[in-house]
Amino acid sequence: MSHFHPEIRQRAEELVALYPRARSAMLPLLHLAQEQDGYLSEAGIDEVAALTGTTSADVRGTAAFYDMFHLEPVGRYVVAVCTNIACMLQGAYRLLEHAEERLGVAPGGTTGDGLFTLEDAECLALCGNAPCLTVNWRFFGDVDLGRFDTLVEDLRAGRLDDEVPPHGTLSRVQRATGLQAGGEGAAGAASEGVPAALPTHLDLDTRRTTAAVASMDAGHLEGGT
């Protein structure tokens, strides 16, 4: 029986079908596993191994190389405060200290209610809005102590649910495309019950789910910035 929920399993099979060899789909499959469970559980790792025709040890070793994957449970919100040079000059270490005091955990720790995990991050590439942080890879810039407190309160109250999904969800933009994989890997996937290819037409159908992105799209269509 699949560990993945039916919708996640379907997306996983579609991902495998995009690659000539199933093993090549390992990283996007790991993101799917983390999206479902919030971290890479043993069952999720085993599922990815089965889908890619590899071993759980191979999958775990690959995941351990990347900072975006967590092999232990984390909070619903992973707050990463940048402390690289631009942010440091703008008070990042004071912001990190304040975050520790506000959340009651040191970097690497998770709050008792399971809501927040705090991280000390290297450069987050938002230097023009230093100091900055990310929450589940969503960017927040020009964060002073007061704005951090407001951010935490908004997250706790669910006021940012449309913008910041639970940890593990990379994107809520679903794309359907007709790109198809060929070769023996695709045929092998089909023989194991995985679709060998997606439709042959190119249909880039994008569904956007957040008000912020919809507003940004409207601005672009009107010629705005």
pTM of the shown model: 0.76
Cite the beta strand spans of the chain per DSSP E: 77-82, 116-121, 133-135, 138-140, 174-176, 205-207
The band of 218, judged by pLDDT with boundaries at 50, 70 and 90, is: low
Cα 177 to Cα 174: distance, rounded to the nearest angstrom: 10
Structure confidence by residue, pLDDT tens digits, 49-79: 999 999 999 999 999 999 999 999 999 999 9
* C-beta atoms surrounding 185 within 10 Å: 20
Structure confidence by residue, pLDDT tens digits, 199-209: 443 344 444 44
Cα 35 to Cα 56: distance, rounded to the nearest angstrom: 18
- Neighbour-count burial of 54, counting CB atoms closer than 10 A to its CB (0-12 exposed, 13-18 middle, 19+ buried): middle
What is the predicted pLDDT for the residue at 185? 47
Structure confidence by residue, pLDDT tens digits, 115-145: 999 999 999 999 999 999 999 999 999 999 9
Q: Does domain 1-73+171-225 have CATH number 1.10.10.1590?
A: yes
What is the predicted pLDDT for the residue at 222? 61
Contact predicate 74/45, CB 8 Å: no
Cα 143 to Cα 102: distance, rounded to the nearest angstrom: 14
- Helix, strand, coil percentages, rounded to 5, for the chain: 45, 10, 45
Contact predicate 135/148, CB 8 Å: no
For 167, which DSSP code? T
What is the third-level CATH fold of 77-157?
Glutaredoxin (3.40.30)
Cα 70 to Cα 21: distance, rounded to the nearest angstrom: 25
At 8, which helix (H) or strand (E)? helix 6-17
What are the residue boundaries of the structural domains of the chain, listed by start? 1-73+171-225, 77-157
Mean of the per-residue pLDDT values for the chain? 85
